[in-house]
Structure 1
Amino acid sequence: MADTPPGLVEAPSKSSWLPENSGRHFIAGGLGGMCGAIVTSPFDVVKTRLQSDLFRAKHHIAVEGNGVAAVAVRRNLLWHFVETAHIIRDIYREESPRALFKGLGPTLVGAVPARSINFFTYGNGKQIIAEHFNNGQENSWVHLAAAACAGIATGTATNPIWVVKTRLQLDAHKPEVAGARSIFGGSVAMIKKILREEGVRGFYKGLSASYLGVTEGTIQWVLYERLKRLTAGTQGKGGPLEWLGTIGSAGAAKCVASLITYPHEVLRTRLRQPLVDGKVKYTGLWQTLRLVIAEEGARSLYGGLSAHLMRVIPNAAVMFFIYETALRI
């Protein structure tokens, strides 16, 4: 390359606004999301059904009506975990073991790009924001801004996939075809059904709740970064200590973020429910919130929380561990 003439500054390359090795965040995030989704799929099915009014009554009757004398069940935290185990058992018996992985096709199709987009946007975004707006220094405000951008980008790009996944998980019919054909064939059939009955707009149901859920990802990333600093003494040492530091930070951050923001998950599931008798019951975010509280009480906004926590905490631990490991390779 010829020397730059005196007095002139060499123009930066078109891709110079991206940090070096920015693509590694994309690959590492997708790999982590894929592994986490496969491991925790049964809990995702249970969580979706408990969030929906189409299944909550059915599963509660099944749990409480097994020929046992009618006794008032105390809905404490421990009972919710017992209830989750009962529902997994019922799905296994009544619908087949494959039913525990309903929606896994669109989950995998969605989890890989969703996590790739999220980790790519956040991992590179925090560096860009810090460099241009905070003298190259990262802090909680930089992490918050990067996480918000990542959440909005991810929600917008992947909402249609999650609509298909939710509809599949709310379908109580037994899978007719085994293996991968059942997983992905059901997804194609559901896509055609949504297009036929609701049009393209049907794929963007629950998007407003997804944007509300950006707060969860933001809280999770900020907490994760803070906890990583607290466990900084374990970084770079390798072995179980560093492994536990990463997993503990990821799991704790996800747990706190989920507990704070969980109601948006229920609202999003209700908005993505299929038509009932050709009618739409839930039409908007605030209408759904008011209707759910009026009909079922505020406690229903935490339906499926136990199954959700049993899924997202190990999911986050696996995902962030693989992500951090992949970045170091």
Structure 2
Amino acid sequence: MNKESVAAGTSAGATVQTQMIEESKRPSPWRHLVAGGLGGMTGAIITSPFDVVKTRLQSDIYHKSIAAKHSQANVRGMRGTLYHFVETAQLMRDIYVKESPRALFRGLGPTLFGVIPARSINFFTYGNLKPIIAGRSREDWSTHLIAAACAGVVTATATNPIWVIKTRLQLSPQVSHLSKRAKMSASKDVIRDIFKHEGFRGLYRGLSASYLGVTESTLQWILYEKLKDVTKDSNLPYMSTMVSAGLAKSVATVITYPHEVVRTRMRQGVPVGEQPRYTTLLRTLNLVWAEEGVGALYGGLSAHLMRVVPNAAAMFFIYELVTYRL
């Protein structure tokens, strides 16, 4: 046997051994499910007030009062964009004072009811698809792209009805003053109202915008994996995980944010006796752009960033801790 054959055999053996070691280090498939759910729950509770404010700023139900404040403050252009951070604080204060502190956590029940399975499904699908797609090859950006896109579509389809109900509850000023039992009844009333006036399809309003939003989660996963790889030798692994997650979420959110506004408009309730205006993805996008300007497509961006960045940092920290550290 010549030296080349021996070297090739040694190299192949080393490759197989490396693959076997990597496979032995892979966590149980179900650990992705548990870790994703715990991470999602933690992030949602911490950042719930910003979620309520974001939904208000995205909806045209509150748009007139917000536009009036903009006019009084005489803010336009980039200054108007930066003013979003000011109005986020103002709206949060108004909700706290005029409606009650509990109003800042309005919709948290449906949010947790949706976030826990959504994150569980997303992390479970993504975490288990990666090795299947990569096979015997090393994971690269294309592996992360396909796995993240598939995970996003599965998650959006499975959980859309929950987000429709949550949006309707968050846009109702009366709900915050109700007891827990009354809120459960309100949720049932929302579901009953959707079936009565919109049918089963009403639970899937905004689904097309959610599919468009898959681009955000896909981009976030790709950026996170790349940043995590760059910082893997850090002396502060937990901190690098949180920074990588927060930075990835920030970039992905800013690039793809308009779909969030479109989705909220499509999910909000329709006044009795009126025809729904926001019926399809393109129609909604055109209406918002034509009637309110491009700035409206970024309504609630400040509140959204203030929510999703710490949310992502906390969520991925818990996920990595439970999946790979414990």
- Candidates 120, 125, 129, aligned match of 1:125: 129
- Say yes or no: does 1:88 pair with 2:122: no
Q: Which runs of no fewer than 5 residues in structure 2 stay unpaired?
A: 1-25
CA contact (8 A) 2:175 2:183 kept: no
| CA deviation after TM superposition for structure 1 residue 190, in Å | 1.6
Name the structure 1 match of 2:264: 269
Higher helix share: 2
Name the TM-score, length of structure 2 as normaliser: 0.87
Name the structure 1 match of 2:75: 73
Distance 1:316 1:222 in 2: 14
CA contact (8 A) 1:166 1:269 kept: yes
Identity of aligned residues (%): 60
Name the structure 2 match of 1:286: 282
| CA deviation after TM superposition for structure 1 residue 20, in Å | 5.9
| CA deviation after TM superposition for structure 1 residue 188, in Å | 2.3
| CA deviation after TM superposition for structure 1 residue 72, in Å | 1.7
- Say yes or no: does 1:57 pair with 2:59: no
Distance 1:71 1:223 in 2: 37
- Candidates 11, 25, 29, aligned match of 2:32: 25
CA contact (8 A) 1:29 1:119 kept: yes
Q: Which runs of no fewer than 5 residues in structure 1 stay unpaired?
A: 1-18
CA contact (8 A) 1:106 1:184 kept: no
Q: CA offsets, 1:30-77, max 9 Å, x none?
A: 00000111111110111111111111222444x569xxxx55234444
**Secondary structure of the structure 2 residue equivalent to 1:301:** helix
- Say yes or no: does 1:320 pair with 2:291: no
Name the structure 1 match of 2:9: none
Residue identity in the other structure for 2:304: H
Residue identity in the other structure for 2:103: A
- Say yes or no: does 1:220 pair with 2:220: yes
Indicate how the Cα distance of structure 1 residues 183 and 125 shifts in structure 2: closer, same or farther if over 3 A, else same: farther
Distance 1:210 1:147 in 2: 14
- Candidates 297, 302, 314, aligned match of 2:293: 297
Distance 1:314 1:20 in 2: 26
- Candidates 236, 241, 253, aligned match of 1:246: 241
- Say yes or no: does 1:42 pair with 2:60: no
Name the structure 2 match of 1:16: none
Indicate how the Cα distance of structure 1 residues 71 and 221 shifts in structure 2: closer, same or farther if over 3 A, else same: closer
Name the TM-score, length of structure 1 as normaliser: 0.86
- Candidates 95, 101, 108, aligned match of 2:105: 101
Name the structure 2 match of 1:260: 255
Distance 2:73 2:319 in 1: 47
Residue identity in the other structure for 2:49: P
Residue identity in the other structure for 2:268: Q
Name the structure 1 match of 2:10: none
CA contact (8 A) 1:130 1:137 kept: yes
Q: How many residues align?
A: 297
Distance 1:85 1:20 in 2: 42
User: What pairs with 1:2-17 in structure 2 (closer than 5 Å)?
Assistant: none
Distance 1:219 1:64 in 2: 32
| CA deviation after TM superposition for structure 1 residue 261, in Å | 0.3
- Runs of 4+ aligned residues of structure 1 deviating over 6 Å after TM superposition are none
Indicate how the Cα distance of structure 1 residues 158 and 174 shifts in structure 2: closer, same or farther if over 3 A, else same: closer
| CA deviation after TM superposition for structure 1 residue 145, in Å | 0.2
Deviates more, 1:93-102 or 1:188-197: 188-197
